[in-house]
Structure 1
Amino acid sequence: MSDAQREKFERFRAMHWDKGAFLIPNPWDAGTARILTQLGFQALATTSAGYAFSVGKRDSHAALTRAEILENARRIVEATHLPVSADLEDGFGTEPAICAETIEMAIETGLVGGSIEDATGHPHAPIYETVLAAERIAAAADATRGKPFLLTARAENYLWGRHNLADTIERLQAYSEAGAHVLYAPGLSDLNDIRTLCREVDKPVNVVMGLVGPTFTVADLAEAGVKRISVGGSLARAALGAMMRAAEEMLEHGTFRYAKDAARPGTITEMMSDIKLTERR
């Protein structure tokens, strides 16, 4: 791995121990990574949902392969000088050894962080049993030893209708003991629950905003003890929502007023790569 990758990792790790909370927005391709970079963020995280929508797929374990997720992550890494962490879903396999292999492959793409979740993708048994889930995190953590990579462990209870704060905290404590560097429980919608979770664990906590439900400010979340704030696929959904409203305007009214709110072509062009092709066929 390069000196640049190690430098990004050191910057990324330091962010998790600085005062306050930091934003880590989620681009879904190289172009959106370049835009978010030039807008002034400190770090980026990929989104499996945003990527899935961009290629006409559903965000699910069955629809997205490890190869395409990592290839998209590689393109995002190459589009920015910022540290990039990746949504690595469930590690792309049940066995702990597969999770470790996924982390090793992620490091090879230039990523300096990534998350493994405890959701199975199976509606009748949506969450891995705690012991196996912790073993999966332990294997992934072992794969990061001596490497420039921060492992985030995700407890998915709340995304699957299992609103059990005590179990979620116990899971994150087990994942911390297994070696996770950052802890994440997407779907929490009560600020007191978030505050309790942050108090009961010993690693930096990531929360996601932009989902349906209550929203809090960066200041609110920092006061509660949150360190890192991501937005998942919500930026992608916001962009697609704007496109859908524009399309509906054209179809229903025959007008093009949406264009007045669109980004200027020159502004976007300036944010994109100026690499020129040496040959066109």
Structure 2
Amino acid sequence: MTAAALRALHHGPELPLVLPGPWDAASAKVFADAGFPALATPSAGVAASLGYRDGQTPAAEMFAAVARIARAVDIPVTADVEAGYGLSAEELVGRLLDAGAVGCNLEDTDPATGALRDPREQADWLARVRAAAGDALVVNARIDTYLRGVHDEDETIRRGRGYAEAGADCVYPIAAPPDRLAALATAIGLPLNAVVLPQGPGPRELGALGATRITFGPGLQQQAATALARVAGQLREDLTAGA
């Protein structure tokens, strides 16, 4: 599948675009077989499946996991590649395309410090990624202001506009107040990604509030792990009872 197909899904006719987050090839096939039009890998969910904490997955293992997921399905796959693993724009784009991804998330938190990157530096980085990728990747620019405790809508908008000018296709102000999604989308001028959080609005409501694209972070992997823990507990209980 191509980036053009994924990009078109951000503009209808069925919105919001709901992108489940597979953590391995088996989960990807489940979501594809259920009829979802595209998938978005979550870095935290993939990390958990590989035995790492979020943010600790070696780049080679992350790209290998993305490649297994992309090979398992015939729908577009976009990959969360965190802050780019310190790769050059050209190498990052090459490894994404080699893995079969047609999109990526890139966040504006500096992994070395845990603080927000300078927005101009981040915009320059995104522009280099866009130049290297051409139209071959859908770039979702994550804005971490709210995640990092910077509850400043003007700063979020400034970053979003800068990332839009750099060539991003979509913006992702993670953890933004749901009732501000429409205002942010209008001010920035790009499709807006929102994440489903525990005790927060569901996909349908987030769409009504202004989100174009809905993702789940590691939530679906965590739900699956919880369900598996129940199965394991019941199995252990059954074995103990029969002893």
Say if 1:33 and 1:80, in contact at 8 Å, map to a contact too. yes
Q: What's 2:72 paired with?
A: 79
Quote the Cα distance in structure 2 between the aligned partners of 1:75 and 1:250.
30
Structure 1's 134 and 193: CA in aligned 2 closer, same or farther, altered over 3 A?
same
Say if 1:141 and 1:179, in contact at 8 Å, map to a contact too. yes
**1:9 matched to 2:7:** no
Quote the Cα distance in structure 2 between the aligned partners of 1:177 and 1:241.
41
CA deviation after TM superposition for structure 1 residue 255, in Å: 4.0
CA deviation after TM superposition for structure 1 residue 132, in Å: 0.9
**1:214 matched to 2:200:** yes
Q: What's 1:191 paired with?
A: 178
Q: Which of 192, 210, 218 matches 1:205? A: 192
Give 3-state SS (helix, strand or coil) of 1:160's partner.
coil
Quote the Cα distance in structure 1 between the aligned partners of 2:143 and 2:45.
20
Give 3-state SS (helix, strand or coil) of 1:26's partner.
coil
Question: If the length of structure 1 is used for normalisation, what is the TM-score?
Answer: 0.79
CA deviation after TM superposition for structure 1 residue 224, in Å: 2.8
**1:170 matched to 2:158:** yes
Residues 65-144 of structure 1 mapped to structure 2, 5 A cutoff: 65-93=58-86, 98-122=88-112, 126-144=115-133
Q: What's 2:213 paired with?
A: 228
Quote the Cα distance in structure 2 between the aligned partners of 1:54 and 1:112.
22
Quote the Cα distance in structure 2 between the aligned partners of 1:108 and 1:250.
41
CA deviation after TM superposition for structure 1 residue 122, in Å: 4.2
RMSD of aligned Cα (Å) = 1.9
Alignment gaps of 5+ in structure 2: none
Quote the Cα distance in structure 2 between the aligned partners of 1:110 and 1:137.
20
| Count of aligned positions | 238
Give 3-state SS (helix, strand or coil) of 1:86's partner.
strand
CA deviation profile, 1:217-276 (whole Å, cap 9, x unmatched): 41x33333321111111000001112233444566xx248xxxxxxxxxxxxxxxxxxxx
Give 3-state SS (helix, strand or coil) of 2:140's partner.
strand
Quote the Cα distance in structure 1 between the aligned partners of 2:50 and 2:3.
29
Quote the Cα distance in structure 1 between the aligned partners of 2:85 and 2:16.
30
CA deviation after TM superposition for structure 1 residue 161, in Å: 2.4
Poorly superposed stretches of 4+, deviation over 4 Å: 248-251
Say if 1:26 and 1:44, in contact at 8 Å, map to a contact too. yes
Q: What's 1:159 paired with?
A: 147
Max Rg structure: 1
Residues 23-102 of structure 1 mapped to structure 2, 5 A cutoff: 23-60=18-55, 63-93=56-86, 98-102=88-92
Quote the Cα distance in structure 1 between the aligned partners of 2:62 and 2:189.
30
2:16 partner amino acid: A
2:12 partner amino acid: D
Say if 1:183 and 1:206, in contact at 8 Å, map to a contact too. yes
